[in-house]
Amino acid sequence: MTAQLVFAYPGDLSTRTGGYGYDRRMIAGLETLGWDVELLALGDGFPDAGSVVKQNAERLLSALPDGTLLMIDGLAFGILDDWATREAGRLRIVALVHHPLALETGLDADRQSVLRESERRALVHVRHIVVTSQATAQTLVSGFAIRADDITVALPGTDPAPVSACDGDPPHIVSIGSLIPRKAHDVLVDSLKLIEGLPWKATIAGSRDMDPSTARALERQIAALGLHDRILLAGDCDDTRALLATADIFALASRYEGYGMVFAEALSQGVPVIACRAGAIPDVLPSDAGILVAVDDSAGFAEALEKMITDKAFHAEMAAAARRAGERLPGWDDTARTISEALEAIA
């Protein structure tokens, strides 16, 4: 008999972010393995959805028949604690946690506290939790009192893609990530100003729509620093793998990542990485394939960029190590099998 799963998600599943990309590839992989996956859209605005959207989402979920195997993306599930308390006894609920909601950058202390408590209460009622990194699993164990046995780590897969020649003149610095505070593109821009005298060009690709105020602030920052002719804000990118194939350095100063799929993609294309010691990034990036600096350390980020640009032998060693690391990364079929096995074990 075909295995059946309802996958409930917030927002637009076609959105170009790592989290939604993971969701799409997971769904496709499970269907390839024989699962019948029914999609259930919960509405926009999560985790800050208004009461009407939230109530409608709860109504849709409560309409599912008893015994349904239901996976809910954590962006929505983390605020559905009251619903989970009511319905957990009759539904087999699985949470997909990309990263805890309270760890999003830019939240005040009160909002962090509310989200942490609601997500903790919601996770009490699940049959199982799927996470995208060991770092997130450890966070749930240490900060949410979840048993390690109740968590499956299903690392994102990585597709084959063209390897960068890493011989740009000037070196091409690429950054990929939505223009939101957590991605810290402002730190990258400040660091690029500090190495203005070196040869380089930079492309920052990512949606402007998720946080328009942050996008506008980044545009003003680039203009004020006189870097508008050297930094391209490319907006949404149809083919990030093609963009990475042109990169000599991948640089993203994220303040937190639940995994960081784009870091893995850069490695798979032989592009050395400069990033921050935040979330799961140190787990993704081997020490010989990139440089990690402290969060919000523009000077340290600039020093790392300078080293990568000026020391050609060092850059070549890092690029070779990135290619080796990329060859060890899992594929999306591995991700799907891991999740499938976890779902099959749920009573």
- Interval 313-326: pLDDT, tens: 999 999 999 999 99
Question: What residues form DSSP beta bridges with 273?
Answer: 250, 290
pLDDT attached to residue 329: 95
pLDDT at 18 over 80: yes
Q: Please, are residues 94 and 126 in contact by the beta-carbon 8 Å criterion?
A: yes
Give me 253's structure tokens: 């100063």
Fold of 172-327: Rossmann fold (3.40.50)
More confident residue, 181 or 1: 181
Cα–Cα distance, 152 to 217 (Å, whole number):
39
pLDDT digits (tens, 9 = 90+) for 262-310: 999 999 999 999 999 999 999 999 999 999 999 999 999 999 999 999 9
pLDDT at 347 over 70: no
The secondary structure of residue 213, as a DSSP letter, is: H
Q: Collect all residues with Cβ–Cβ distance below 8 Å to 165 and sequence separation of at least 6.
A: none
**Average pLDDT over every residue of 109-115:** 96
**Average pLDDT over every residue of 240-262:** 96
For CA atoms 315, 316, 318, 322, the dihedral sign is: positive
Question: What amino acid occupies position 181?
Answer: P
Question: Is the pTM here over 0.75, yes or no?
Answer: yes
pLDDT attached to residue 184: 98
Burial (CB count within 10 angstroms: exposed 0-12, middle 13-18, buried 19+), residue 49? buried
CB atoms within 10 A of CB 313: 7
pLDDT attached to residue 209: 92
pLDDT attached to residue 2: 72
**Average pLDDT over every residue of 175-199:** 97
Query: 3-class DSSP state for residue 37?
Result: strand
Average predicted confidence (pLDDT) for the chain: 96
Burial (CB count within 10 angstroms: exposed 0-12, middle 13-18, buried 19+), residue 131? buried
Element (H, E) at 291: strand 290-293
pLDDT digits (tens, 9 = 90+) for 52-110: 999 999 999 999 999 999 999 999 999 999 999 999 999 999 999 999 999 998 899 99
* Within this chain, domains 4-156+331-344 and 172-327 share the same CATH topology: yes
Query: 3-class DSSP state for residue 322?
Result: helix
pLDDT digits (tens, 9 = 90+) for 30-44: 999 999 999 999 999
**Average pLDDT over every residue of 168-185:** 97
CATH architecture of structural domain 4-156+331-344: 3-Layer(aba) Sandwich (3.40)
**Average pLDDT over every residue of 141-151:** 96
Q: How is the chain split into domains, by residue range?
A: 4-156+331-344, 172-327
Instruction: Return the CA Rg of the chain.
Output: 21
Query: 3-class DSSP state for residue 9?
Result: strand
**Average pLDDT over every residue of 149-171:** 96
